[in-house]
Amino acid sequence: MSNDSPIRTRVTTSHWGAFEVQTRGDRIIATAPFAADPEPTAIPDMLPQAVHHRSRVLRPSIRRGWLERGDRHTRGEDDFIELPWDEALDIAAAEIERVRKTHGNNAIFGGSYGWSSAGRFHHAQSQVHRFLNSIGGYVASFGSYSTGCAQAIMPHVFGIPFLQYNYGSQDSWQTIADNTRTLVMFGGINPKNSQVSMGGITEHETGSWFERFRAGGMRCINIGPQRTDAPGGCDWLALRPGSDTALMLALAHVLEEEGLTDHAFLDRYTTGFDRFRPYLMGQADGQPKSPDWAAPLCGVSPEEIRALARRMASTRTLITVAWSLQRGHHGEQPYWMSAVLAAMLGQIGLPGGGVGYGYGAIGGIGRSMKRLSGMTLDQGQNPISEVIPVARVADMLLNPGAPYDFNGKRDPYPDIRLVYWAGGNPFHHHQDLNRFHEAWKCPETVIVNEPWWTATAQRADIVFPATTPYEREDIGRSTMDDYLFHMPALIPPVGEARDDYDIFAGLATRLDAEEGFTEGRSSADWIRHLYEGYATEAAAEGIDVPDLDTLRDRNWVRLPIKESEAPPSFLARFRADPEGRALATPSGRIEIFSDTVAGFGYDDCPGHPVWLPPQEWLGAATQDAPLHLVSPQPGDKLHSQLEAALADVAGARPETLVINPADASARGIATGDLLRVFNGRGACHARALVSDDITPGVVALPTGAWYAGSRSNIDPHGNPNVLTQDVGTSRLGQGCSAHTALVDVAKL
């Protein structure tokens, strides 16, 4: 590259929003904020280094032990042989063919969970699912690590798919600003997390909404283990992780004891309070769920609990619950109980009242937007019916044929022989990674498409180098955003990387499925096809979008779909007309007691919300593991993406662990010290940040470091998932329990 080739500046988008990219020749040299973004994120700063990083997969690579001996036990320890594309594709296609002929398509696991990258056509999960469907199907996964547990439990309560309510029909920020007087945030609302949103968020605005809340005199109360989970200016009630249900029950107890419950609301809109009340008041089990009972469990004093309950009953109160609460053992309970508490307050369906979920978890939630559909690649039909709850992947690999429970059903785990992953990094995201490392030895073959040599790519048998979004043309848009982007190919593919589409087309051709997969279209044809379908649907909704060539010229446009007046939420409509708009629950009402759930007979998720202590929490701390580890999302990146470049910054790894001064001084730890974090499942290194912004007894280590440990080795980068436990939230939800773990910490 010559230094006098011209610098070009264009805009692209990503899950963390739009940004400008400067290129010179075939290199990305810098990024800059998108001018219209009021709170731009620093996440893209490391993009140039990451895209051109030495850890890019440059050529198709096959693991030596697998190729030469069919060995599956040395994944992660072996070296790779680089092959020309045609040879590698021949080998992969022959192996897929062997597995499906010998064992059937239900021996192929293609769940392939992960965020991959923004861009409507080159969406890795859509691509891998469409490919696997075109060759006869695959075992899929249900739900997400984000909200798997909520997706299982909440339809029993509100009769609506959780994400439909969460993304599309709860109160908007504007409605909250106009009406709410008390905002009670279990798990906080963290602008750090709203930097990202699936498919992109262009105008980051969560922080500025809190400025408006404060200016309007709203009281915002963050309840959880970390002060920093909410913007400055919010009150903080320090809480032990995993104990929210106990606190919510005690708040409900105060309402009942002090005559503050709205029984008219309960009578008209809910079912089952009569069956819940004896548990709440203690007739059922001899234990009233009073503030005195809850205080030692959750760490909030009885006086504070009573004062909060009274305030909630006397002002317009919105209870918000972070997704993190259901990413813990028995995560069904705080979700269900928050709905019961809101029902007892009688404000569900009033503007700025009731309960809402996941505000701040991703930037799109709370924005009011006319939803345009379209631009989704059709994944085709999957003839295989087996689906596992997404976070049960290690159980599945370790226990073929064993039965497992999930939301009232009992099925055997399929017998998986081949795993195909594209667009996810399970060796970052799954719990108890040392156990997962063993489970990963079970399948005969693992194929991964990846731009980088992640921990997952390093543990695959066949690795196909995938392009990043900066190396291919695409369209960027999200249903929660009012901008539309042409994402230009900014640079040519790095190394011999190919688009996922071309990788799958190459395999489909070899497996006699080319017509079904490609329908005779090139990538460019597909983009035009999807875009034209979208434009037609948008026009039918009264929204004009430019034609593709115009969009390409303009790079981006803003669509007139932002709504200043938010439509009434789903539950507001129910409140206005409870018969005409009866909920799709068996009773047509909000279910405080669910006969359906009770009928499952699960002791870990009975017919109404209950306090069930998590398997690991401060109430069961041991001498070996006295501290509760929470592992939040990283503020400086999206999960494990761009990690390669971030890890190069001097002093950046191992990851930073936040610890309370009391716990630090007991261990002789000061800020900056190098630490060992450990429990019976594994150990990793971390760097200490001593801060009283965290509850005593709790430590926080964000996710995202590239795992490089094993059962006998310490993970040097600080991936918390060597420490987390791999258990489902309950037999009902089977979500991931990432925030439930006890550890100890020592200075190195």
Ligand X SMILES: Nc1nc2c(c(=O)[nH]1)N[C@H]1C(S)=C(S)[C@@H](COP(=O)(O)OP(=O)(O)OC[C@H]3O[C@@H](n4cnc5c(=O)[nH]c(N)nc54)[C@H](O)[C@@H]3O)O[C@H]1N2
The question of whether 357 is a catalytic residue gets the answer no
Least spacing, CB of residue 467 vs ligand X, in Å: 7
Tell me the one-letter amino acid at 210. Answer: F
Contacts of 502 (CB under 8 A, 6+ apart): 523
CA of 518: how far to CAs of 74, 80, 351, 508, in Å?
Answer: 36, 30, 48, 8
Least spacing, CB of residue 700 vs ligand X, in Å: 6
Q: Verify binding: residue 190, Mo ion, rule CB under 5 A.
A: no
Tell me the one-letter amino acid at 235. Answer: D
Residue 250 has, within 13 A of its CA and on its CB side, a CA count of: 24
Locate 748 and state its tokens.
Answer: 């190195």
Tell me the one-letter amino acid at 447. Answer: I
- Single out the catalytic residue among 16, 66, 115, 534: 115
Total number of residues that touch Mo ion (CB under 5 A): 1
Least spacing, CB of residue 327 vs Mo ion, in Å: 8
Q: Verify binding: residue 245, Mo ion, rule CB under 5 A.
A: no
- Single out the catalytic residue among 16, 66, 85, 113: 113
β-bridge partners, 747? 675
The helix or strand, by DSSP H or E, that contains position 140, with its residue range, turns out to be strand 140-142
Nearer Cβ to Mo ion (458/633): 633
CA of 270: how far to CAs of 339, 343, 729, in Å?
Answer: 11, 8, 26
The question of whether 556 is a catalytic residue gets the answer no
Least spacing, CB of residue 156 vs ligand X, in Å: 21
3-state secondary structure of 747: strand
State how far the Cα of 568 lies from the Cα of 561, in Å rounded to an integer: 17
Q: Torsion over CA of 147, 149, 153 and 159, rounded to 10 degrees?
A: 20
Nearer Cβ to Mo ion (127/326): 326
Question: If we measure between CA atoms, which residue out of 206, 210, 211, 209 comes closest to residue 193?
Answer: 206
Residue nearest to Mo ion (CB): 146
Nearer Cβ to Mo ion (146/180): 146
Q: What is the binding site for ligand X (CB under 6 A)?
A: 114-117, 122, 124, 145-146, 186-188, 190, 192-193, 195-196, 223-226, 229, 239, 241-242, 244, 322-325, 327-328, 361-362, 422-425, 428-429, 449-452, 454, 466, 500, 630-635, 638-641, 700, 703, 720-721, 724, 738-739
Nearer Cβ to ligand X (48/225): 225
Nearer Cβ to Mo ion (326/569): 326
Contacts of 248 (CB under 8 A, 6+ apart): 186, 334, 337, 338, 340, 341, 609
**Binding letters toward Mo ion, positions 128-167, x by CB under 5 A:** ------------------x---------------------
Residue 111 has, within 13 A of its CA and on its CB side, a CA count of: 26
Residue 452 binding target from ligand X, Mo ion, none, CB below 5 to 8 Å by type: ligand X
Residue 141 binding target from ligand X, Mo ion, none, CB below 5 to 8 Å by type: none
CA 382 to chain CA centroid, Å, is 24
Q: Verify binding: residue 631, Mo ion, rule CB under 5 A.
A: no
Contacts of 713 (CB under 8 A, 6+ apart): none
Residue 724 binding target from ligand X, Mo ion, none, CB below 5 to 8 Å by type: ligand X
Nearer Cβ to ligand X (155/187): 187
Locate 478 and state its tokens.
Answer: 């999200």
Residue 631 binding target from ligand X, Mo ion, none, CB below 5 to 8 Å by type: ligand X
Nearer Cβ to Mo ion (41/146): 146
Residue 422 binding target from Mo ion, ligand X, none, CB below 5 to 8 Å by type: ligand X
Residue 639 binding target from ligand X, Mo ion, none, CB below 5 to 8 Å by type: ligand X
Contacts of 111 (CB under 8 A, 6+ apart): 139, 140, 141, 388, 390, 393
State how far the Cα of 240 lies from the Cα of 611, in Å rounded to an integer: 14
Residue 195 binding target from ligand X, Mo ion, none, CB below 5 to 8 Å by type: ligand X
Q: Which residues are catalytic?
A: 113, 115
Residue ranges binding Mo ion (CB under 5 A): 146
